[in-house]
Amino acid sequence: MAHFLECPVDDATPKQTPGMGRVGEWMWDYVTEQQQQQHMDFGEAIQRCIGFVLTALCWGFTNPFIKRGSAGVEDIKRSGWARQVLAETWFLATRWQYVLALAINLSGSAVYYYTLGSADITIAVPITNSLALVFTVLAGMLVGERPPSPREALGMAGIVLGAALCVTG
């Protein structure tokens, strides 16, 4: 009993003693592996958070710019379905405002899929989508769209709070 009282609580390094036997060696290996996993988890958690925020930023912040870049596409009228699609595609592909915003948005998808490799999807989806909503509203305000009403702002705060509860719960 005195041995446990003398052992510091914050000593994170397990001590392997000679003659532990197979079970003791297995336990030592297991504890060492768990400690290494805990150290990697903190770094991976930071990486995941950065991935979630970067994804939400790419997805949310580009939405108003995609909307502005595609303005006028609804005025294109061609006879036949194929000609209509080709004319709209050409219109969008030749507008740098649309193409740049879309490329940034799609790069957010690449970051998202990379982040999903080490993250739980039940956490990733609410975080990225709630933050993307906030970034969309902020970017919209920067380009001159109306700010959210108090009721809309309260709804956004509720969504972000719910996502935070998902993460911590």
**Angle (CA) 22 12 16, round 5°:** 25
d(CA 169, CA 167): 6
Query: What pLDDT does residue 38 have?
Result: 53
End-to-end Cα, the chain, rounded Å: 36
Say whether pLDDT at 46 is over 70: yes
In this structure, what DSSP letter does residue 70 have?
A: T
Say whether pLDDT at 6 is over 50: no
pLDDT digits (tens, 9 = 90+) for 123-154: 888 889 889 989 999 999 999 889 999 998 99
Query: What pLDDT does residue 3 have?
Result: 43
Query: What pLDDT does residue 123 have?
Result: 84
- Mean pLDDT of all residues in 89-99: 95
Instruction: Say which residue, 47 or 86, is predicted with more confidence.
Output: 86
Say whether pLDDT at 73 is over 70: yes
pTM: 0.67
Residue with tokens 């009993």: 1
- Mean pLDDT of all residues in 28-42: 59
Tokens standing for residue 92:
């969008």
